């Protein structure tokens, strides 16, 4: 992935992302077929320096406003959801790991615009045994989105003492992110899925791999946070949520634009008027536009509130809950819009040659992600009511 980069940093991240849309449209079907982002698209992301949008400035990153990141994810997701997913996953992973690492250790890993980072979900069956100078890591992790295009990967695991007891730090179980060269892992190509196929989210494993202390950050522990910018005060899960809801909004908007374009020229054989002159279609398109725009406005407001509060040292649980509500709500609303557009398109929607089918699969796959689950809404509801609550993911 090495490249000579002339980043267009006179443009914002969303504007640089918009420059990639024609290329992403062209490569979309091929990325879906290959189940990975094509080299040409990876190179284009590097050329526009879009893998360091959230990385600290102290490491050569842009440390952009979270709203710019969300808009860039939406812009990329509009053209291709898998690339948008890769963009968000790589940016948040790199930024949150780097912000909690020793500067020199982070600089050695994130040493240029080509260095993204990928990792999968935490796996309860993994183990990291505390040893002198580091850890011995064993486990298997799935959903390594974008890992086919990174040199380094990470893995999350609880830490054990040599006698098998949980290792405690800061008064609670010690859960860390372990960074290592992908060449040290065994990778299994098992990404056979409905949508988001281009993310190439493979499974990988390691056995008794030594990880030095400097490559084992605790990303969301404020006690270890080296970077103090507002981005790094916001918990990693909310950063992921902001980017992934941007991707879902992009897919929803693309589906709605495609539905409106179809309505301008199609007449169903079962209808007496063209779609363009059908009052029900006219009303539905307007309502879907309002639904998507409303969700987007709520997300942008909540992101700006959280970012401003983080910069001023007043990011409290109420604002975290508001951002959680806004991002989860947006993911669900965008999925509903995509589904409605797919249904409205009739048999046109099932054709591989039409622009609905792949994006519908992507939208439905995004909707299944942890960040869009109803459990988050229930938690926020309990917080608003004042009921007994377990506060997590914020």
Domain containing residue 22: CATH number: 1.10.540.10
The DSSP code for 215 is: G
The pLDDT assigned to 3 comes to 38
- 66 pLDDT more than 90: yes
The CATH number assigned to the domain holding 162 equals: 2.40.110.10
Strands 117-119 and 152-160, sheet pairing: parallel
DSSP string, 60-102: T-----HHHHHHHHHHHHHH-HHHHHHHHHHHHHHHHHHHTS-
Per DSSP (E only), the strands in 216-279 are none
Closest by CA position to 93, among listed 17, 24, 156, 184: 156
Q: 163 and 104, same structural domain?
A: no
Of the three residues 171, 197, 221, the one that is the final residue of a domain is 221
Q: Centre a 10 Å sphere on the Cβ of residue 332 and count the other Cβ atoms it contains.
A: 19
- 125 pLDDT more than 90: no
DSSP string, 278-338: -HHHHHHHHHHHHHHHHHHHHHHHHHHHHHHHHHTT---HHHHHHHHHHHHHHHHHHHHHH
Token pair of 189, please? 């190509």
Q: Evaluate whether residue 2 is within a structural domain.
A: no
Token pair of 81, please? 């959801």
- Lowest mean pLDDT, pick from 62-66, 323-327, 349-353: 349-353
Q: How far is CA 38 from the centre of its chain?
A: 19
Q: 371 and 238, same structural domain?
A: yes
Token pair of 11, please? 């443009």
Of the three residues 83, 109, 135, the one that is the final residue of a domain is 109
Q: 63 and 135, same structural domain?
A: no
Q: State how many domains the chain has.
A: 3
The CATH number assigned to the domain holding 268 equals: 1.20.140.10
Cα–Cα–Cα angle for 214, 205, 112, nearest 5°? 45
- 6 pLDDT more than 50: no
- 8 pLDDT more than 60: no
Tokens 């998507």 found at = 292
The phi, psi pair for 127, rounded to 5°, reads: -145, 140
Q: 368 and 332, same structural domain?
A: yes
- 270 pLDDT more than 70: no
Q: What is d(CA 269, CA 278) in angstroms, rounded to the nearest whole number?
A: 13
Q: Evaluate whether residue 277 is within a structural domain.
A: yes
Contact by Cβ (8 Å): 243, 87: yes
Q: 138 and 98, same structural domain?
A: no
Task: Give the domain range for residue 30.
Answer: 13-109
Q: Evaluate whether residue 6 is within a structural domain.
A: no
Cα atoms found within 13 Å of the Cα of residue 377, Cβ hemisphere only: 11
Q: 189 and 56, same structural domain?
A: no
Q: 166 and 258, same structural domain?
A: no
12 sits in the region (left: phi over 0; alpha: psi -120 to 50; else beta) called: beta
Q: Evaluate whether residue 5 is within a structural domain.
A: no
Q: 238 and 214, same structural domain?
A: no
Q: 361 and 240, same structural domain?
A: yes
Cα atoms found within 13 Å of the Cα of residue 218, Cβ hemisphere only: 13
Q: Evaluate whether residue 4 is within a structural domain.
A: no
Of the three residues 221, 256, 275, the one that is the final residue of a domain is 221
- What's the pLDDT tens digit per position in 352-374? 988 999 999 999 999 999 999 99
Q: 353 and 255, same structural domain?
A: yes
- Lowest mean pLDDT, pick from 67-81, 109-123, 149-163: 109-123
Token pair of 87, please? 């963009």
Q: Work out the percent of the chain whose per-residue pLDDT is above 90.
A: 90
Contact by Cβ (8 Å): 342, 255: yes
Per DSSP (E only), the strands in the chain are 117-119, 127-131, 134-144, 152-160, 168-169, 172-173, 175-181, 186-188, 202-212
Max CA distance (Å), the chain: 77
- 123 pLDDT more than 80: no
Confidence bin at 194 (pLDDT 50/70/90): very high
Q: 291 and 313, same structural domain?
A: yes
The pLDDT assigned to 112 comes to 80
Q: Centre a 10 Å sphere on the Cβ of residue 205 and count the other Cβ atoms it contains.
A: 17
Q: 341 and 240, same structural domain?
A: yes
Strands 202-212 and 186-188, sheet pairing: antiparallel
Q: Evaluate whether residue 266 is within a structural domain.
A: yes
Q: Evaluate whether residue 1 is within a structural domain.
A: no
Which are the contacts of 96, defined by CB distance < 8 A and separation ≥ 6?
219, 220, 232, 236, 239
């Amino acid at each position: 992935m090495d490249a000579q980069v002339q980043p267009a940093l006179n443009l914002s991240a969303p504007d640089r992302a918009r420059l990639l849309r024609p290329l992403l449209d062209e490569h979309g079907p091929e990325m879906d077929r290959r189940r990975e982002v094509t080299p040409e698209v990876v190179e284009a992301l590097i050329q526009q320096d879009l893998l360091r949008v959230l990385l600290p400035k102290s490491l050569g990153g842009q440390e952009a406003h979270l709203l710019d990141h969300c808009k860039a994810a939406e812009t990329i997701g509009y053209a291709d959801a898998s690339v948008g997913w890769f963009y968000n996953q790589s940016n948040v992973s790199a930024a949150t790991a780097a912000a909690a690492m020793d500067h020199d250790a982070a600089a050695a890993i994130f040493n240029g615009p080509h260095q993204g980072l990928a990792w999968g979900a935490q796996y309860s069956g993994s183990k990291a045994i505390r040893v002198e100078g580091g850890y011995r890591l064993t486990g298997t992790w799935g959903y390594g989105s974008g890992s086919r295009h990174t040199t380094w990967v990470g893995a999350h695991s609880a830490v054990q003492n040599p006698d098998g007891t949980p290792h405690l730090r800061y008064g609670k179980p010690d859960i860390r992110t372990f960074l290592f060269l992908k060449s040290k892992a065994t990778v299994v190509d098992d990404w056979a899925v409905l949508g988001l196929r281009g993310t190439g989210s493979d499974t990988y494993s390691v056995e008794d791999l030594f990880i030095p202390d400097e490559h084992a950050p605790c990303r969301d522990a404020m006690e270890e946070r080296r970077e103090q910018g507002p981005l790094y005060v916001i918990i990693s899960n909310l950063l992921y949520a902001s980017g992934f809801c941007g991707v879902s909004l992009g897919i929803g908007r693309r589906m709605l634009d495609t539905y409106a374009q179809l309505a301008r020229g199609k007449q169903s054989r079962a209808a007496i008027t063209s779609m363009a002159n059908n009052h029900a279609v006219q009303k539905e398109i307007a309502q879907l536009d309002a639904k998507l725009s409303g969700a987007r406005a709520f997300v942008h407001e909540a992101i700006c509130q959280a970012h401003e509060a983080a910069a001023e040292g007043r990011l409290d649980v109420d604002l975290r809950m508001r951002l959680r509500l806004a991002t989860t709500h947006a993911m669900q609303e965008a999925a509903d819009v995509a589904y409605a557009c797919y249904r409205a398109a009739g048999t046109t929607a099932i054709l591989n040659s039409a622009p609905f089918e792949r994006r519908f699969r992507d939208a439905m796959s995004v909707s299944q992600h942890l960040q869009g689950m109803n459990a988050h809404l229930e938690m926020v509801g309990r917080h608003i009511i004042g009921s007994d609550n377990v506060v997590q993911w914020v």
